[in-house]
C-alpha cells in the first residue's frame, strides 16, 4: 500500500496527515506525528462512520466551491478544510501575481519524474493549459500556464528525473 502524506488546513490550523496503513475498514493514520488507529466505514456516498476509542461519529464530507476545499460536517459542526498537496504548495509558492525573474520558467518545487509533456517548442498555448505533468511524492501534478504564452524551450524529456526548482519549460 502506498503511504500518502498531505497537509490539511482546518480553519487557521494546518495539520500534517499521513495514511500509514489500511486494511479494509481498519486505518492507521498519523496527525502531526501522533498515530491513531481507527475503523472507518463508507456507509453512503460522502458519509463515513468512524470508530476510535469506542466512540463512534458520523462524518459527512462535501466538496467545497474550490478545488481541494471541503466542508466536513460532524454532528452540528461544519468545518471548512483544504487539502494542501504538492500541487497546492506549488501554486501557493508561485503566488497570484505575475512578474519576477522566473515568471517565464515552469518548474516543480520538489524533485520528481516527468510523466508527460503536452507541448513542443513553438506551440502557442492558452491560459490554463497544462504543459507538463510531474510525479512527486507518489502524486501526479499538472503544471499550467497562467496566461496565453508561446513555448520557447522544453528543457526535459518524458521519464527524466528532475530536481526541485529545475526549469522544465520556458515560455515567452
User: Average pLDDT by consecutive 10-residue portion of the chain (172 residues)?
Assistant: 74 88 93 94 93 93 84 87 74 45 73 94 93 87 90 94 87 88
> Which pLDDT score, from 0 to 100, does residue 89 have?
65
pTM: 0.50
**The predicted structure's pLDDT at residue 97:** 34
* Residues 13 and 75 both lie in one domain: yes
Question: Residue 52: what pLDDT?
Answer: 94
Both 45 and 15 in a single domain? Answer: yes
Considering only the C-alpha atoms of the chain, give the largest distance between any 2 of them, rounded to a whole number of Å.
62
User: Residue 87: its pLDDT value, please?
Assistant: 64
Asked if the structure places residue 91 within a domain, the reply is no
Question: Same domain, yes or no, for 109 and 78?
Answer: no
**Residue 99: what pLDDT?**
34
Instruction: Please say whether the beta carbons of 150 and 121 come within 8 A.
Output: no
Contact, 137 vs 113, CB < 8 A? no
Q: Can you give the residue range of the structural domain that contains 116?
A: 103-171
CA distance 32 to 110: 21
Identify the pLDDT of residue 35. Answer: 95
* Class of residue 131 by CB neighbours under 10 A (exposed 0-12, middle 13-18, buried 19+): buried
CA 66/CA 73 separation, integer angstroms: 17
Amino acid at each position: 500500500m502506498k503511504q500518502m502524506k498531505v497537509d490539511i488546513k482546518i480553519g487557521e490550523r494546518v495539520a500534517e496527515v499521513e495514511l500509514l496503513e489500511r486494511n479494509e475498514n481498519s486505518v492507521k493514520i498519523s496527525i502531526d506525528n501522533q498515530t491513531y488507529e481507527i475503523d472507518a466505514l463508507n456507509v453512503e456516498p460522502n458519509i463515513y462512520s468512524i470508530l476510535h476509542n469506542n466512540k463512534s461519529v458520523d462524518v459527512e464530507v462535501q466538496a467545497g466551491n474550490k478545488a481541494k476545499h471541503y466542508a466536513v460536517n460532524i454532528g452540528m459542526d461544519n468545518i471548512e478544510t483544504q487539502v494542501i498537496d504538492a500541487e497546492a504548495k506549488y501554486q501557493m509558492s508561485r503566488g497570484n501575481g505575475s512578474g519576477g525573474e522566473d515568471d517565464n520558467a515552469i518548474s516543480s518545487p520538489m524533485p520528481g519524474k516527468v510523466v508527460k509533456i503536452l507541448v513542443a517548442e513553438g506551440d502557442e498555448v492558452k491560459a490554463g493549459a497544462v504543459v507538463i505533468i510531474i510525479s512527486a511524492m507518489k502524486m501526479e501534478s499538472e503544471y499550467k500556464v497562467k496566461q496565453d504564452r508561446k513555448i520557447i524551450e522544453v528543457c526535459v524529456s518524458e521519464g527524466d528525473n528532475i530536481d526541485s526548482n529545475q526549469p522544465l519549460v520556458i515560455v515567452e
